[in-house]
Amino acid sequence: MTKKSYLILEDGLEFEGTGFGSDMETIGEIVFNTSMSGYQEVLTDPSYSGQIVTMTYPMIGNYGINDDDGESSRIQVDGFVVKEYSKTYSNFRAVRSLGEYLKNAGIPAIEGVDTRKITRHIRDRGAMRAGIFHDKKGALKRLLAHPKMEGSDLASGVSCREPYDYGDKKDGRPKVAVFDFGVKKNILTLLVNTGFNVTVYPGSMPLRQVLKERHDAIFLSNGPGDPDAVPYGKDLVTSAVKEGIPTFGICLGHQFIALGLGARTFKLKFGHRGANQPVKNMITGNIEITSQNHGFAVDIESMKKIRDIEITHINLNDNTVEGIRHKKIPLMAVQYHPEASPGPHDSQYLFNEFYKMIKR
């Protein structure tokens, strides 16, 4: 049974559509993703915690949902917005429909709205709070009482609670400690495939406690929220620099490394979310087509002032910082997601560079 639903933004803009998925209502930061496929990966990416995602591609759901492509064990978005939901799906791996998947997870969604208008509005006005409601009465008041993304530590809500090993352990492999701020499954898989023994730790666990297990390197994962609101992320980097242990960070991990080195971060107007972001490697001159999902970025002027830090990658759309490395100690980071393979393999060399840091 279909149900009339409303998408309402905090500046008062309203859209009427049809609800699918869960019958619940939801509030979060509304953002848009420009990927043409990969909606299951988007839904399960912990970096989307606290957000309502609008897909710009007009038809979503046509290849269903399978049991293998999730980036975590559950749906992480707070809501989902599409132009047209395909109730009929066809794929040899599919086991259920998108609508069924959302309903079972308790995640509300809305279709039949003008996603082009929503996207243009966000580009003009910036990402903002929004909600999917069944009754408009009092909705705007509830929206304005909801916390903003700025100042929100969302990483603690998606991190693991206890350490665990990922993948098969093999003798002679270097050991990497992954600090989980919302890590994607495919990152862990690529670390294993590169040749690491992987152990995942809660993001808030002190480095000194982790290093008792004699790890050869540490990895700082992706995750949601405002990096400035997660002081233990910055403190982790400060400790890692003192120890001189090989360190690699992706996405939120990249932002933590920048903060730990003394740079600043800021909130982008509408963020980078999609599988088609062009990034220039400033060392090789190569252009990488990258997958990205972040609403905050590293301030380039503050980064340029830090001694012994080299900016290695730049976003060609807006010249924001996409990668850094230290000239004297084994430390590097990128803002984008090399494991997502939109290129398809433009950026996987980064995992090999991380491995070589340890083998030197």
Which domain-ending residue is among 90, 124, 145? 145
Query: Which one of the listed residues 215, 294, 326, 337 is annotated catalytic?
Result: 337
Q: 138 and 277 in one domain?
A: no
pLDDT digits (tens, 9 = 90+) for 59-88: 999 999 999 999 999 999 999 999 999 999
**Total of domains in the chain:** 2
Tokens found for residue 133: 């409601």
Q: 355 and 216 in one domain?
A: yes
User: Of 114, 138, 144, whose CA–CA distance to 9 is shortest?
Assistant: 144
For residue 80, count other CB atoms closer than 10 A to its CB. Answer: 29
> How confident is the prediction for the chain on average, in pLDDT?
96
Q: 321 and 209 in one domain?
A: yes
Q: 181 and 124 in one domain?
A: no
pLDDT digits (tens, 9 = 90+) for 226-258: 999 999 999 999 999 999 999 999 999 999 999
Q: 135 and 70 in one domain?
A: yes
Q: Are 182 and 143 in contact (CB under 8 A)?
A: no
Query: Which one of the listed residues 111, 121, 251, 254 is annotated catalytic?
Result: 251
User: What CATH number is attached to the domain comprising 42?
Assistant: 3.50.30.20
Which residue type, as a one-letter code, is found at position 225?
G
pLDDT digits (tens, 9 = 90+) for 272-310: 999 999 999 999 999 999 999 999 999 999 999 999 999
Confidence (pLDDT) at 346: 82
Q: 189 and 120 in one domain?
A: no
Give the rounded percent of residues in the chain with a pLDDT score beyond 70. Answer: 99
Confidence (pLDDT) at 191: 97
Q: 347 and 259 in one domain?
A: yes
**Is 337 part of the annotated catalytic residue set?**
yes
Contacts of 124 (CB under 8 A, 6+ apart): none
Q: Is residue 93 part of a domain?
A: yes
Q: Is residue 150 part of a domain?
A: no
Instruction: For the chain, report the end-to-end CA distance as a whole number of angstroms.
Output: 61
Q: 141 and 169 in one domain?
A: no
Residues of the chain with pLDDT under 70: 1-2, 359-360
Q: 176 and 132 in one domain?
A: no
Q: 196 and 312 in one domain?
A: yes
Query: Which one of the listed residues 71, 111, 288, 339 is annotated catalytic?
Result: 339
Confidence (pLDDT) at 341: 77
**Is 160 part of the annotated catalytic residue set?**
no
Which residue type, as a one-letter code, is found at position 146?
H
Which domain-ending residue is among 145, 180, 195? 145
**Is 251 part of the annotated catalytic residue set?**
yes
Enclosing domain of residue 328 = 155-359
Confidence (pLDDT) at 343: 72
Which domain-ending residue is among 145, 175, 197? 145
Q: 167 and 109 in one domain?
A: no
Question: Helix, strand, coil: what percent of the chain each, to 5?
Answer: 30, 30, 40
Q: 240 and 134 in one domain?
A: no
User: Of 165, 130, 162, 137, whose CA–CA distance to 31 is shortest?
Assistant: 130
Q: Give the three-class secondary structure for 285.
A: coil
Q: Are 80 and 52 in contact (CB under 8 A)?
A: yes
User: Of 152, 312, 307, whose CA–CA distance to 248 is shortest?
Assistant: 312
Confidence (pLDDT) at 2: 62
Q: Is residue 35 part of a domain?
A: yes
